[in-house]
Amino acid sequence: MNMKLVTLGLAALTILLFFDIDQLSWTVAKASGFVATLLLVGSMSVGIMSSTKMAKSKFHAGDMFEVHRISGYLMLLAIAVHTIGLLADDYIGFSLSSILIPGVSHYRPVAVGAGIIAAYLSLVVAFSFDLKQWLGPKFWRVTHVLSYPLLALALVHGVLAGTDTGSLGTQVFYYGCGILVLTLTIFRILTPRPGPARRSKTAG
């Protein structure tokens, strides 16, 4: 991912959002929140299924890992856009401290706090991909288990913090995300992992 392009894109978006053209900032904030959740669920789904026999028989392990990793970084980008959108919008009036420190927000502090903690956890999980060799396999797996509380907090944030959470479509989206990850996790637990490939015997 070209970090210069990402930086320029975020800067341009920030300038555009602060013009507050026809509630653009609030619309972008909501949309990027949905996208961040979708990318999290997608990354988790690939990660959960990547060690199953079914997935390994159909997809290359390296390709699955790249999808898993890149989805995590794209999730961070969506969270950054979500944050910028909230700061730019003046409907609720979020301050910098209210979106960085859990419990400070005057607007639904528990739900917003859940989102803030989820954002911090997402940083740990996403950056752990490229720190695997320094973290070691055991600690790396521990950081990835954090994806589950991360998802739970993100869903709490999405269901309780949004202004349109009462709509059927929003409810179906968030509950569907949770049910999907839960179903795949149960499937992964009940499905035996494929054993190591046997080496063919060389004729002596």
Which of 88, 79, 152, 155 is closest to 119 using CA atoms?
79
What would the pLDDT profile of 106-147 be if each residue is shown by its tens digit? Answer: 889 999 999 999 999 999 888 887 777 777 777 777 888 889
d(CA 24, CA 19): 9
Mean pLDDT of 46-67: 73
- pLDDT at position 64 is 75
Cβ neighbours, 10 Å, residue 86: 26
- Least confident piece of the model among 25-34, 93-102, 125-134: 125-134
Cβ neighbours, 10 Å, residue 123: 13
**Residue 65, exposed/middle/buried by CB under 10 A (0-12, 13-18, 19+)?**
middle
Higher pLDDT, 5 or 87: 87
pTM (global) more than 0.85: no
**176 Rama class: left (phi>0) / alpha (psi -120 to 50) / beta:** alpha
* Residues 164 and 23: beta-carbon distance below 8 Å: no
Which residues, in sequence order, are CB contacts of 55 under 8 Å at separation 6+? 49, 64
pLDDT of 164 over the 50 cut: yes
Domain positions in the chain = 3-190
And the tokens for 72?
A: 């995590």
Which residues, in sequence order, are CB contacts of 194 under 8 Å at separation 6+? 52, 53, 56
- pLDDT at position 140 is 74
The CA-based angle 172-34-178, given to 5 degrees, is 45
Mean of all residue pLDDT scores within the chain: 80
